[in-house]
Structure 1
Amino acid sequence: MDWKSLLAPGRTTAEGDPFVALRREMDRMLEQFGRGFGLPAMATTSTGFVSPRVNVAETEKGLEISAELPGFKPEEVSLDLEGDVLTLKAERRQEREEKEEEKRYHLIERMSGSYLRRFALPFAPQSDAVQARFDNGVLHVFLPRPPEAPKGASRIAIQAGG
């Protein structure tokens, strides 16, 4: 089958695969659609959650993660650490009600959103040593490396087979 026959005239394929081009076009359309509602451009996961944009930096002392969560309050954000997996979750629910008897209208608008991001960490940090602060819509998390066990050399005794 000629895949190029599936494309609109004048369109080219990405790496020769029309489905890659279709996926990119759909992502572009959804991003533009989200902007119309005042939502920040964020990636949507297959579970329907919106994934906040993050920066992850690894240093000698540990990991530094910053996540953009515009419009959220610190009490709407939660961080959970289970072993070597860090889960960032933010949920917001808003409801606005307008009512005017003279004009005979009643309006209730509800909005809710959930952001979710999980990080598989290269080490299991001590939960009591993790630091997090929320500053102007940006969450900053510092995960210090755990103290390593001493790497001293040891001699292993070899037994004779018998």
Structure 2
Amino acid sequence: MTLARLSNNWLPSMPSIFDRFFDGELMDWNNSNYSSTNTTMPAVNVKENDNEFLIDVAAPGMKKDDFKVSYDNGRLTISSELKNEKEEKDGEKVTRREFSYQSFQRSFTVSESMVESENIAASYENGILHITLPKREEVKPKPSRQIDIK
């Protein structure tokens, strides 16, 4: 499962639009990563070890109940709903409001043959949503063994 993107940009100062045009991302009409409020998407780190893939989503200030994590036919989707709390008390006048929660959705294609989808787990701690995707036994690295020479 390759989750990193390589850049073929031969001239670092040239805009990356050329890379996106030639690799098809510019014309990706099925992109399901979006934010409904023109804000930035939460940053995501994807790591892999011998036993699992780990996805960390930076989402400080949110609660675990603000997230929805689903898996359907090889697609892992992480989303959060828009919450705009406008509670005002009698006699209060808000002159500036900057508190709000933004809605977003991030989706990842996950190979059914590599991941035990029934054991995907998620937790939220210290502003980071952690998602663990355990690998199937058959794709885990096997220890090396010494072969006798006869």
User: What is the TM-score of this pair, normalised by structure 1?
Assistant: 0.53
The one of 53, 59, 66 aligned to 1:63? 53
Cα distance change of structure 1 residues 69 and 112 upon mapping to structure 2, 3 Å threshold = closer
Contact 2:52 2:135 in 1 (8 A): yes
Please give the per-residue CA displacement for 1:11-47, whole angstroms capped at 9, x wherever unaligned: xxx42x6x97xxxxxxxxxxxxxxxxxxxxxxx9486
Structure with the largest fraction of strand: 1
Contact 2:34 2:106 in 1 (8 A): no
* Higher RCO (C-alpha 8 Å, min separation 6): 2
The one of 76, 97, 106 aligned to 2:88? 97
CA distance in 2, matches of 1:46, 1:70: 16
Which residue type is aligned with residue 82 of structure 1? D
Contact 1:123 1:145 in 2 (8 A): no
CA distance in 1, matches of 2:119, 2:57: 19
User: Which residues of 2 match residues 47-126 of structure 1 at below 5 A?
Assistant: 48=38, 50-93=40-83, 94-100=85-91, 106-107=93-94, 111-123=100-112, 125-126=115-116
The one of 121, 124, 129 aligned to 1:134? 124
Flag the structure with larger Rg.
Answer: 1
CA distance in 1, matches of 2:101, 2:124: 21
Which residue type is aligned with residue 139 of structure 1? L
Contact 2:35 2:105 in 1 (8 A): no
Aligned-pair identity in percent equals 24
CA distance in 2, matches of 1:143, 1:80: 12
User: How many Å apart are 1:107 and its aligned residue?
Assistant: 4.6
Please give the per-residue CA displacement for 1:118-140, whole angstroms capped at 9, x wherever unaligned: 11124453333112111111111
Contact 1:99 1:107 in 2 (8 A): no
Cα distance change of structure 1 residues 133 and 87 upon mapping to structure 2, 3 Å threshold = same
**Cα RMSD for the two superposed structures:** 3.2
Contact 2:35 2:41 in 1 (8 A): no
Which residue type is aligned with residue 146 of structure 1? R
User: What is the TM-score of this pair, normalised by structure 2?
Assistant: 0.57
The count of residues paired between Structure 1 and Structure 2 equals: 107
User: How many Å apart are 1:52 and its aligned residue?
Assistant: 0.9
Structure with the largest fraction of helix: 1
